[in-house]
């Protein structure tokens, strides 16, 4: 018998917290999870899931255009934002209920309240105005959109949180940022017919991704009608009636119906009482953890975005599972954060795993590169000019595939399967020995034979 109310008290019912709680309960622990908003967390409630539904909605406009080449007359099409919101909300409600049902079925008690850490074993529940004690505490509170509060007019800005609940779609929008959320939402708004401008502070969007992919996505986004302004920041935003006037550092003044900032996310550790337990935080407010997700306090752990390791849902889920294995199944498990496949649901889509060309050169010196840029088969009849692109980076001595980068339809689906091969240490010879699936775009991945030479690339 434990001297505490619970064996485990989890703060935050998102991807990592739910997985950690359910697995701990399956190993016999008495578990409660506190959630101040909605069970499901960022991914389900205001992230990956509603975002992907919006991406689907926005892609119809280009599908309608492409249909003509295949003999279809689509006729006049109209879009109703309210219908999309209602249907999206219905689906999110359904998923929210599934998460609640699964927690209940696992025997995890759900406490709908804000929880604040009072000491190393005590959590204070704010609305219920009571303390509970736990042998172990799991911090899984995620991250929150960052908007520089010092920027004049910051109060007029929305983040991705609000983008999921807009009363009406604006005629025009300017988005600040060049990361995942900025490029994904630029594609969404553009596809839904909103005049879209993206402002990024450096010279090329998607810092950290392969340079070819960055340049090709930039070009494709502009071809689809998105205006991209680089090397610029926001100096101030003023509201005049229904119009927001954004003054940029390059002197431009943009007048739009909406301004969205996608300038990163910060761990949500403010006012969580972590100092009461002596938990060490990093310089961005992230909870510092070891390989098993343990903080500097022996029985306090943290998983997911709050630890600022890799802010991705599947990573949080793995970290939650590894935590439960370690603490409640006596089987210490560390999540391997290397070679994480990931997708950006930009339009066109990106799928990527492993080292970029620049990273591979820095780490290994000379490397072999294979590249293929091609017009997808569908474009032959649709008349669409957009090209797809694939790049394989290979270690010249071991022949091991160090990285694969894809831009084009279904890139996310492709990289999920590729991730298995690359994670297993596949060589280029393994790729070459794999029979192509014809006619697909993915067959390019196993049919690239010619090494890319910089001299010929310029031709």
Question: What string marks each residue from 215 to 254 as x (binds ligand NDP by CB under 6 A) or -?
Answer: ------------------x---------------------
Question: What string marks each residue from 379 to 418 as x (binds ligand NDP by CB under 6 A) or -?
Answer: ----------------------------------------
What sign does the dihedral 444-448-453-456 (CA atoms) show? Answer: negative
Alpha carbon separation from 279 to 12, 95, 108, 115 (Å, rounded) = 17, 33, 25, 16
Q: What residues contact residue 288 under an 8 Å CB cut-off, 6+ apart?
A: 280, 281, 282, 295, 296, 307
Q: What residues contact residue 37 under an 8 Å CB cut-off, 6+ apart?
A: 45
User: DSSP labels for 293-341?
Assistant: SB-SSTTEEE-GGGG-S---HHHHHHHHHHHHHHHHSS-------SS--
Q: Is 247 exposed, middle or buried (0-12, 13-18, 19+ CB in 10 A)?
A: middle
Nearer Cβ to ligand NDP (123/174) = 174
Give dist(CA 164, CA 89) in Å, integer: 9
Count of residues engaged in binding ligand NDP, rule: CB under 6 A? 24
Smallest distance, ligand NDP to C-beta of residue 205, A: 7
Is there binding between residue 342 and ligand NDP (CB under 6 A)? yes
Which residue among 158, 344, 404, 411 contacts ligand NDP (CB under 6 A)? Answer: 344
Give dist(CA 428, CA 396) in Å, integer: 10
Nearer Cβ to ligand NDP (52/364) = 52
Q: Give the chain's radius of gyration (CA, Å).
A: 24
If we measure between CA atoms, which residue out of 7, 11, 41 comes closest to residue 24?
7
Which residue among 171, 202, 239, 337 contacts ligand NDP (CB under 6 A)? Answer: 202
Q: Which of residues 74-113 bind ligand NDP (CB under 6 A)?
A: none
Nearer Cβ to ligand NDP (179/408) = 179
Give dist(CA 93, CA 213) in Å, integer: 36
Which residue among 207, 337, 375, 378 contacts ligand NDP (CB under 6 A)? Answer: 207
What sign does the dihedral 214-220-223-224 (CA atoms) show? Answer: negative
Give dist(CA 60, CA 73) in Å, integer: 14
The three-state secondary structure class of 344 is strand
Nearer Cβ to ligand NDP (160/372) = 160
Beta strands 31-35; 6-11: pairing state: parallel
What sign does the dihedral 429-430-431-433 (CA atoms) show? Answer: positive
Is there binding between residue 264 and ligand NDP (CB under 6 A)? yes
Nearer Cβ to ligand NDP (122/176) = 176
Number of Cβ within 10 Å of residue 18's Cβ equals 29
Nearer Cβ to ligand NDP (103/206) = 206
Nearer Cβ to ligand NDP (17/178) = 178
Is there binding between residue 25 and ligand NDP (CB under 6 A)? no
Question: What string marks each residue from 310 to 339 as x (binds ligand NDP by CB under 6 A) or -?
Answer: -xx---------------------------
Smallest distance, ligand NDP to C-beta of residue 198, A: 10
Is there binding between residue 49 and ligand NDP (CB under 6 A)? no
Smallest distance, ligand NDP to C-beta of residue 294, A: 23
Smallest distance, ligand NDP to C-beta of residue 176, A: 6
Smallest distance, ligand NDP to C-beta of residue 207, A: 4
Is there binding between residue 343 and ligand NDP (CB under 6 A)? yes
Is there binding between residue 281 and ligand NDP (CB under 6 A)? no
Active site residue 156: no
Give dist(CA 58, CA 44) in Å, integer: 19
Smallest distance, ligand NDP to C-beta of residue 143, A: 7
Beta strands 115-119; 227-229: pairing state: unpaired
Part of the chain binding ligand NDP (CB under 6 A), chosen from 64-72, 77-85, 200-208, 374-382: 200-208
Residue nearest ligand NDP, Cβ-based: 179
Q: Which of 136, 156, 395, 438 is catalytic?
A: 438
Nearer Cβ to ligand NDP (199/324) = 199
Question: What string marks each residue from 141 to 160 as x (binds ligand NDP by CB under 6 A) or -?
Answer: -------x------------
Give dist(CA 62, CA 64) in Å, integer: 5
Q: Which of residues 171-190 bind ligand NDP (CB under 6 A)?
A: 176-182, 184
The H-assigned helical ranges of 339-400 are 357-364, 377-382
The three-state secondary structure class of 117 is strand
User: DSSP labels for 200-253?
Assistant: -SSSSSSTTS-HHHHHHHHHHHHHTT-EEE-S--EEEEEEETTEEEEEETTS-E
Which residues contact ligand NDP by CB under 6 A? 148, 176-182, 184, 200-202, 207, 233, 262-265, 311-312, 342-345
Residues labelled catalytic: 438
């Amino acid at each position: 018998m434990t001297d505490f109310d619970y064996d485990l008290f989890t703060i935050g019912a998102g991807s990592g917290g739910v997985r950690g709680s359910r697995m701990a309960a399956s190993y016999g622990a008495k578990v409660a999870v506190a959630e101040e908003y909605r069970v499901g967390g960022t991914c389900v409630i205001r992230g990956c899931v509603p975002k992907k539904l919006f991406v689907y909605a926005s892609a119809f406009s280009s599908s309608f255009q492409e249909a003509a080449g295949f003999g279809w007359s689509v006729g006049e099409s109209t879009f109703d934002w309210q219908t999309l919101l209602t249907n999206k909300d219905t689906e999110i409600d359904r998923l929210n209920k599934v998460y609640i049902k699964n927690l209940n079925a696992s025997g995890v008690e759900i406490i709908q309240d804000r929880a604040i850490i009072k000491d190393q074993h005590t959590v204070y529940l704010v609305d219920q105005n009571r303390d509970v004690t736990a042998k172990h505490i799991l911090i899984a509170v995620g991250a929150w959109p960052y908007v520089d509060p010092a920027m004049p007019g910051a109060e007029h800005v929305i983040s991705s949180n609000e983008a999921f609940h807009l009363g009406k779609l604006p005629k025009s929008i300017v988005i600040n940022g060049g990361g995942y959320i900025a490029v994904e939402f630029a594609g969404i708004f553009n596809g839904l017919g909103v005049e879209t401008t993206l402002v990024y502070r450096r010279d090329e969007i998607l810092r950290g991704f392969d340079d070819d992919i960055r340049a090709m996505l930039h070009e494709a986004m502009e071809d689809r009608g998105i205006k991209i302004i680089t090397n610029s920041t926001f100096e101030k935003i003023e509201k005049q009636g229904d119009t927001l006037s954004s003054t940029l550092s390059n002197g431009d003044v943009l007048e739009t119906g909406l301004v969205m900032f996608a300038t990163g996310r910060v761990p949500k550790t403010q006012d969580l009482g972590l100092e009461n337990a002596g938990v060490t935080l990093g310089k961005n407010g992230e909870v510092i953890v070891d390989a098993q997700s343990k903080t500097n306090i022996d029985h306090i752990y943290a998983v997911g975005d709050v630890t600022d390791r890799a802010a991705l849902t599947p990573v949080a889920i793995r970290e939650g599972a590894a935590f439960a294995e370690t603490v409640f199944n006596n089987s210490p498990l560390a999540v391997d954060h290397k070679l994480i496949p990931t997708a950006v649901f930009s339009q066109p889509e990106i799928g990527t795993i492993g080292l970029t060309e620049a990273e591979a050169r820095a780490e290994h010196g000379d490397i072999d590169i294979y590249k293929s840029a091609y017009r997808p088969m569908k474009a032959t009849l649709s008349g669409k000019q957009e090209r797809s692109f694939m790049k394989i980076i290979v270690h010249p001595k071991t022949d091991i595939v160090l990285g694969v980068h894809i831009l084009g339809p279904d890139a996310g689906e492709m990289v999920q399967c590729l991730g298995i091969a690359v994670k297993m240490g596949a060589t280029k010879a393994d790729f070459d020995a794999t029979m192509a699936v014809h006619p697909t775009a993915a067959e390019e991945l196993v049919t690239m034979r010619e090494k890319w030479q910089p001299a010929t690339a310029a031709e």
